[in-house]
Amino acid sequence: MKDSEFLKKNERIDQLYSQNIKIIQSPDVFSFSLDAVLLAAFAQMKKSSKIKIMDLCAGNGAIGLFASQKTQGLIDQIEIQSKLADMGNRSIKLNHLEQRMKMYNLDVADTFKEFEKDTYDYVLCNPPYFKNQVESKKNPNAYLAVARHEIKTNLNQVLAISSGLLKMNGKLFLVHRPDRFLEILETLKQNRLAPKRIRLVYPRQHSEANMVLIEAIKDGRPDGIRFVDPLYTYSGKEYSDEVKRLLYGN
């Protein structure tokens, strides 16, 4: 099939050139952004075909697709919004990854109706960042509102599901907002997840962090947290060298 034959009305194909991965996107719904690229790069996973990976709150599937280039493991993805899940499923086919990846149009709350507990080696998650408060301003686009605000799920539910999916000593890789960092740490602990590696992401030097990448281990020891080198998105008006490598390759 030609690439164009995978597309529906008002859709396009974007490419992460550093990995030769193609993603079906649409201006009508939530599209992947830099946080998806950074999370996939941050995740350290074995290359073995025997491992199992879950991508929660998968959106149009970008994180799992990017992660597929780092491992031969099986990747399942869960996304509640049917339009996004459909786009993700077609992106899997577009990249010829049907033998290793599958997208499920499923509410995170129903995860264990479909999947067994304690069976995954890794969980990747880019959840909604903002609490669903009455006074909070939400995007009028319902797809964007659900992706960004805790309308359909919340931090505790996402971390509880992640913990339930993981085997003992399995790893969660999470991207979130630094202003909820203390809440994230407390909720990780409540769900038997011990943070082990943390990386802060800054728009540029001398600015405040706007993302945090966290690796946590199920039933891990509470000590031994490492804060690794910060990542800067921009150098002047251009992307930093590290971000350029992630987006475009060497």
pLDDT the model gives residue 140: 59
Q: Where are the domains of the chain?
A: 3-248
pLDDT value at residue 189: 97
Quick check: helix, strand or coil at residue 39? helix
Give the per-residue pLDDT at 103: 98
Does domain 3-248 fall under CATH 3.40.50.150? My reply is yes
Query: In the chain, which ranges are E strands?
Result: 12-16, 21-25, 52-56, 74-79, 101-105, 120-125, 166-176, 193-202, 211-218, 226-227, 231-232, 234-235, 238-239
pLDDT of the residue at 143: 47
For residue 30, the model assigns a pLDDT of: 73
Contact 85, 107 (CB under 8 A): no
Q: What is the pTM of this model?
A: 0.92
Residues in the chain, pLDDT under 70:
130-152
Chain segment 179-220, per-residue pLDDT in tens: 999 999 999 999 999 999 999 999 999 999 999 999 999 999
